[in-house]
Structure 1
Amino acid sequence: MPKRSLRPTMRDVARLAGVSPMTVSRVQAGSALVAPETRDRINAAIAALGYVEDKVAASLSSRRTGFIATIVPTLTNSTFADTAHGLTEALRRSGYQLLIGYTRYRMSDEESLIRTMLERRPEAIVLAGMSHTEAAGTMLRGAGIPVVEIWDCGEADPIGYAVGFSNIESGRAAARHLIALGHRRIGAIGPTIGDDAHDFRGEARLTGFTEVLREAGLSTDRIVQRGDVPLSFAGGAAAMAHLLDTAGPLDAVFAISDLAAFGALMECQRRGIAVPGSLSVLGFGDFEIGDQCVPALSTIGIDAEDIGRRVGELLLRLLPGDAGDHGPTPTAVTDVGFKIVERGSTAPRPVST
């Protein structure tokens, strides 16, 4: 059998570069105390040997792991990917890295991931939403590290910090917008509420949407919750088909995500229903596909990457060492807001003659 190669050590690098292991360690830490020519010699030795620093050993001595635990519902949704990108970019100069897990919108999976992440001693933990199991909440409150809940705020007090927006208010804004366009027979599309899988933020949007319809004296019978969490293109199309088949005359539809709204739009096209001539469709999230489809989707716009950036900037103020700027204590809640993005899939209701 072939011999197993030995992993190069810091001592091997020091020997090849003609310096002490302490000098190699200083270069690895980015110290300015090492002369440029010595640093170049050490970096050349690292490259020649293929040396990789043992962060586990370093963390055992420093009690710092250098990673931020990040838990999101899914990695296929571009909004959460954009948030992770913004967070990564904000942390890049500090040397912190993300360790990402996803829950598939399942409460039990989130609880398990929180336990697994905390066992590895992250510097901070970032997770989507403010709804958790009792056990998960207990672990987070006792973690002893910064906890940042994202993509939600306004309806509850955060465990530590929150960076997001009010999902209930975004649903209310969606209803008000469709009503302002003159629509009265208004429907909405969301996923079925499961035993363990929940899109709490989507459910909050529907709650806000429903409240405004009731306040306006409009029927809420056209609000449909069908399909698995998260609601996909196909799920949006199926829910739209059900709505068209059972709800009677319809002026406008709000979908809790652009994925579902795109599916609803395609179902209308298959049936020859003109959008927005006969029916307005409003989505949520401002996904790239919504800007490119025909007609382009009107939506509730959220700057997902900015959420990640703001979380990164918050953590750099909270974490110890060179990363933090030790400025004023950050506020517990950062509301990034949302906006109505009007495109081609919504239009004022034609005036009857």
Structure 2
Amino acid sequence: MRVPCVCTSCGRSHGWLGSLKDRLEPDLSNMDKFLEKLGPLNGQGREPPGLPRDPVGMRQQLQEELEEVRERLEPYMAEVHERVGWNLEGLRRQLQPYTVELMEQVALRVQELQEQLRVVGEGTKAQLLGGVEEARSLLQELQNRVAHHTGRVKALFHPYAERLVTGIGHHVQELHRSVAPHAAASPARLSRCVQVLSRKLTLKAKALHTRIQQNLDQLREELSAFAGAGADGAEEEAQPDPQVLSQEVRQRLQAFRHDTFLQIAAFTRAIDQETKQIQQQLAPPPPGHSAFAPEFLQGDGGKARSELQARLDDLWEDINYSLRDHSPGHLGEP
């Protein structure tokens, strides 16, 4: 793994990081003391003297401690945060065609089903009005068409689901390679984060496919039930209205389209959320950034403290890894 280039010139980057190490080493003891103060936040150890008990005072003291190291860390962390974010944005762009393709397929299949399940026409109208047997036969035939064509559409969506899952695996591995030169995390932690991201997105993609299949099952059941009710009415000599039948089919298809589009959009938002979360893990913003420290005044103070402790632990692990394993003589080596 390369230490991230933080300047436009690699030579300047290597010298800059070497000097960063020299500047940070005198402050390591101070950083250790700062992290020791945070120990009680997650319930470990006893509370050191002077740590304020009230949330406002605690937040103020932590902000003061963070300010002491911000100036040395901020340029490096800001650059890494931006570079990792740029690569994660690339992942989102690479996955976008898969979701766009799914939406296009949903719209296309709805249009096809609309044509295949048509019950409006002169011949259809004459058959519905021709008598009980003719109407019942037509509605039973509609039920058969509903079962056949929705089953065919379900099968057609399988390859798209497989492509999405395969694409996630491929592009997340590309992300791993592209982020490695920039992330300050150790190779082991980087690998863990990427594997978690791949697993989460894969599970969400499979869940999306399952929901699409369930939507089609629901569509089949609703249309079959409606056609069956019409057939029962025909036996009682109630004349089915072809316009009503056609409108019902159209409404059910549009409801399927709308619900499926919402689910695909939710999957896209989940990609955004997961990639933003991994950016926080691999390249958190500088300590002075508003997104670094969680809000202590929220209702769940324990969760905020735990999140801050985890971020600081990751930050210290990354700094320690860089200072320990990347001396100026090895900055250019993988």
TM bucket, shorter chain = under 0.3
Higher relative contact order (CA 8 A, sep 6+): 2
Q: Which has the higher strand share?
A: 1
For the pair shown, the structure with the greater C-alpha radius of gyration is 2
Q: Which has the higher helix share?
A: 2
Q: TM-score scaled by structure 1?
A: 0.26
